[in-house]
A = this chain, B = another copy of it.
Amino acid sequence: MNSTAGSHGHHISRQYNADLEEVKKHMLEMGGKVEKQLADALDALIRADSGKASGVISEDDVIDSMEMKIDEECNLIIARRQPAASDLRLVLAIIKAIRDLERIADESSKIAKAAIKVSEQGELPNGLIEFRTLGQQVQRALNTALDAFVRHDAEAALSVVQDDQDVDNEYAIAMRAMITYMMEEPSSISHVLNVLWALRAMERIGDHAKNICEHVVYMVVGTDIRHEKLENIADRLSG
């Protein structure tokens, strides 16, 4: 339909492109907002700052409505504009990516909830802030994922998929530190469990950032790379 000649066709096509740009812009606004939620949640946890943590929790509603609005925009584009090929892949990638963004915001709220519980029990002892590196890693993964989405950069996206192993390793290190701490100080168990849940949330955020990158690769090269061997994909991208 978009190739129809004449001014009417032109008009439709211009409007169609504007719709696509608009929904992409909204997704990136949502992405920026989610990045801020994550940064604030991690900061609240490290500083045991319950005020900041409450802010993260109450902002979660804003993210939820952003997701629903964008999802609806995508549905309308598919229904009215019947996009094909790469445009359709873009719209479907957005539909999936916003779900991952919404989950990242959810997990950030969980970190914020843990921060509030932690703040009730005073600041975290030194042995418990082993999660700082993990927090930075997942923030970087999310940032790279969003950036790769804007620039349609499959290789950058793939680097996040590859780095996810580092996130998992860092998570394992932090977990071991927590277990040791609990064994040495059984009275600290419920305190430490709050940190454990926060760690788990960070690890999941890393997974969701990885998912977004998989959507980017699908959008750019048209193949679904989930569950595929990394070497194969890297070969295909460079080949």
Chain B residue numbers with a CB within 8 Å of A5 are: none
- The chain B residue sitting closest to A60, CB to CB, is B227
Q: Which residues of A contact B (CB under 8 A)?
A: 61, 64-65, 68, 71-72, 75, 78-79, 82, 84-85, 88-89, 92, 95-96, 99, 179, 182-183, 186-187, 189-190, 193, 200, 224, 226-227
B71 touches A224 (CB 8 A): yes
Classify the interface of chain A: helix, strand, loop or mixed.
helix
A79 touches B68 (CB 8 A): no
Q: How far is the CA of A190 from the CA of B172 in the complex (A)?
A: 13
A64 touches B226 (CB 8 A): yes
Q: How far is the CA of A65 from the CA of B78 in the complex (A)?
A: 25
B68 touches A226 (CB 8 A): yes
Q: Given contact pairs A75-B89, A78-B92, A92-B95, enumerate 15 new A-B contacts (beta carbons under 8 Å).
A: A61-B227, A72-B224, A78-B78, A79-B84, A79-B88, A95-B95, A96-B99, A179-B189, A179-B190, A182-B182, A182-B189, A186-B186, A186-B189, A189-B189, A200-B200
Chain B residue numbers with a CB within 8 Å of A88 are: 75, 78-79
Q: How far is the CA of A178 from the CA of B49 in the complex (A)?
A: 28
Chain B residue numbers with a CB within 8 Å of A75 are: 88-89, 92
Distance in Å: Cβ of A105 to nearest Cβ of chain B? 12
- 7 residue pairs, one from A and one from B, having the closest CB atoms: A186-B186, A64-B227, A82-B82, A68-B224, A182-B189, A183-B189, A183-B186
Chain B residue numbers with a CB within 8 Å of A99 are: 96, 99
B95 touches A227 (CB 8 A): no
Q: How far is the CA of A95 from the CA of B88 in the complex (A)?
A: 14
Chain B residue numbers with a CB within 8 Å of A72 are: 224
Chain B residue numbers with a CB within 8 Å of A96 are: 99
7 residue pairs bridging A and B, Cβ less than 8 Å apart: A68-B224, A68-B226, A71-B224, A78-B88, A96-B99, A179-B190, A182-B189
Instruction: Tell me which of A85, A187, A189 has the highest count of chain B C-beta atoms within 10 A of its own C-beta.
Output: A189
Q: How far is the CA of A6 from the CA of B57 in the complex (A)?
A: 58
Distance in Å: Cβ of A106 to nearest Cβ of chain B? 9
A227 touches B190 (CB 8 A): no
Q: How far is the CA of A189 from the CA of B226 in the complex (A)?
A: 34
